Structure 1
Amino acid sequence: MQDGKLNVRAVERALDILLCFTSDSNLAMTEIAERTELHKSTVHRMLSTLEAKGFVERDRASDRYHLGMRVWELAANLSQSDDPAVIWLPEMERLRDALGETVSLYVRDGKERIRIQAVQSNQAVRRVAPVGVRLPLYVGASGKVLIAYADPLEQDMLMREADASGVIDPQRFREQLEEIRRIGYATSTEEREQGAAAVSAPIFNHAGKLAGALAVSGPAGRFTMDIMRQCAPQIMESALRMGTMLR
């Protein structure tokens, strides 16, 4: 009986630790100990177990914790919503906090792309990304990602239509798409909007089908090509995590 009570208490403590992340996306162990009023050694043991099970992840550089992939996988099975814009929001917020720039989510609708979710940068000088706006498909990092990873038949149709309308240089554009598929992401600097730069990566579902494009954007003067290349691995990692959240 005593063992049963101890087990229940351990579960309660673990849940209390997870609940600390409802108000903050990343926390130090000492902050968690203060909020839960638990001894640091107890918090350390709990965090080690939660990390091993994938419910939290530790940033080795800063020694701070954030929610892990298991939480997002559970969230993906919530019956109240199968909307990717809702399911992916916490991961987008985590990426915004990590990189400091605006994070957007795009899907393709015919020959346009639609921004269905956005998390704005907290910096004073930032790129504001309104949700629901329709944008050209053939310019911008996310647009190129949506074409590069489209089904082959759809991609051929899009390329033929764009070629006929004179929107793109077919040869140069196909070379860009090949490069995107080779490195796994796309970049753009002032292609659609003066003073804006962006880097984007594809999101695939469990069947390997393109589900959307994750993009991070900011002022071109700050979000340079070198910085975008440095950020690309984190963006691709987030896109991979987001894909696992889909049913």
Structure 2
Amino acid sequence: MEDGKLTVRAVERALDILLCFTGASELTLTEIASRVQLHKSTVHRLLASLEGKGFIMRDEATDKYRLGYRLWELSANLSKEGDPGIILLPEMERLRDQLGETISLYVQDGLVRVRIQAVQSNHAIRRVAPVGARMPLYVGASSKVLVAFAEQGLLEQLLASADWPTGLDTQTYLQQLSDTRRAGFATSVEEREPGAAAVSAPVLDRGGRLVAALAVSGPANRLTLELMQEQAPTIMEAARRMGTMLR
């Protein structure tokens, strides 16, 4: 039984190492050890195993690690059927062409939101939206949408989380969620990132279940609160159309 626990722990640690690369393309052994909070000797052994299976590659010139080709092989077999990031991409491109700003699609994963698709703005000054980015659920327009239109259990978990910011007033947050449900969209101005603004609407499937949050984001000096409120009906209509495309 004890050996089984050790085996599971090793698997979890190896997966934690792979997850380090969600925010970086290359990392040193020291950087990885710091992120997973393990001794470098332990991380080195796990990296050797991952490298042997092709999940990790090491650049001998820089002594840095990056994801291996085996992950690309696995991703090629991901089912595209029912994937909103694939199905909704043409509609996202249409909305980008219409509004001119970066369009993103977010889903909830535990107590964070994940950007699963993005279409970049054509403006020279724009917000770059990396797919796979993970952000907290308690701040930002898309987060408000994902929590406001989710089942009640998610809000309870979020409020009870140890990561809940001490400076964030609970009643103010609850009022924002109420306003989001009533209006059908949410806005944010420099809530998560200085100089950035966003407006978001829920994508609901044909059964009325929340699938994702559709967001339009850009520099706050261009995407003003007044402009976002003006564009909200267009964004909600785009989200409604997207919902009809999903099962």
TM-score by length of 1: 0.65
Bigger shift: residues 213-222 or 164-173:
164-173
In 2, Cα distance between equivalents of 1:164 and 1:100: 34
1:59 maps to none
Deviation at 1:163, TM superposition (A): 8.5
Distance 1:191 1:245, change over 3 A: same
Supply the distance in 2 between the matched residues of 1:115 and 1:167 (Cα, whole angstroms): 25
Q: Distance in 2 between matches of 1:226 and 1:164?
A: 29
| CA-CA distance at 1:80 after TM superposition | 5.6
RMSD of aligned C-alpha atoms?
Answer: 1.6
Partner of 1:223: 223
Q: 2:93 is aligned with what amino acid?
A: E
1:171 aligns with 2:171: yes
Aligned partner of 1:116 in structure 2 is 116
Cα distance, 1:161 vs. partner?
A: 2.4
List alignment gaps of at least 5 residues for structure 1.
Answer: 1-78
Q: CA deviation at 1:197?
A: 0.3
Letter in 2 for 1:148: A
Counterpart CA distance in 1 for 2:133 and 2:167 is: 20
Indicate if the aligned counterparts of 2:203 and 2:242 stay in contact, CA closer than 8 A.
yes
CA contact (8 A) 1:163 1:169 kept: no
Q: How many Å separate the matches in 1 of 2:151 and 2:114? A: 18
> In 2 relative to 1, CA 237–164 (structure 1 residues): closer, same or farther, beyond 3 Å?
closer
Aligned residues: 169
Change beyond 3 A, Cα 1:135–1:164: closer
Which 5+ residue runs of structure 2 have no aligned equivalent?
1-78
For residue 187 of structure 1, what is the aligned residue in structure 2?
187
How much does 1:191 deviate?
0.6
Question: Deviations along 1:180-212, whole A, 9 cap, x unmatched?
Answer: 111110000111111100000011111111101
- Equivalent in the alignment of 2:209: 209
1:1-247 matches, cutoff 5 A: 81-161=81-161, 166=166, 168-247=168-247
Show structure 1 runs of 4+ deviating over 4 A: 162-165
* Kept in 2: contact 1:163–1:170 (CA 8 A): no
Contact 1:162 1:168 in 2 (8 A): no
Change (3 A) 1:167 1:240: farther
| Aligned residue number for residue 9 of structure 1 | none
Q: Structure 1 residue 81: deviation in Å?
A: 2.6
1:107 CA displacement:
0.3
* Alpha-carbon contact 1:203-1:214 (below 8 Å) kept: yes
**Amino acid aligned to 1:97:** D
> Which residue of structure 1 aligns with residue 61 of structure 2?
none
Shift of 1:160: 2.8
Report the 3-state secondary structure (helix = DSSP H, G, I; strand = E; otherwise coil) of the residue aligned with 1:236.
helix
Q: Using the alignment, how far apart are the partners of 1:97 and 1:218 within structure 2?
A: 14
Q: Measured at CA, do residues 194 and 80 of structure 1 come closer, stay the same or move farther in structure 2, by a change above 3 Å?
A: closer
Q: Which amino acid is the alignment partner of residue 82 of structure 1?
A: G
**CA 135–167 in structure 1, closer or farther in 2 if over 3 Å, else same:** farther
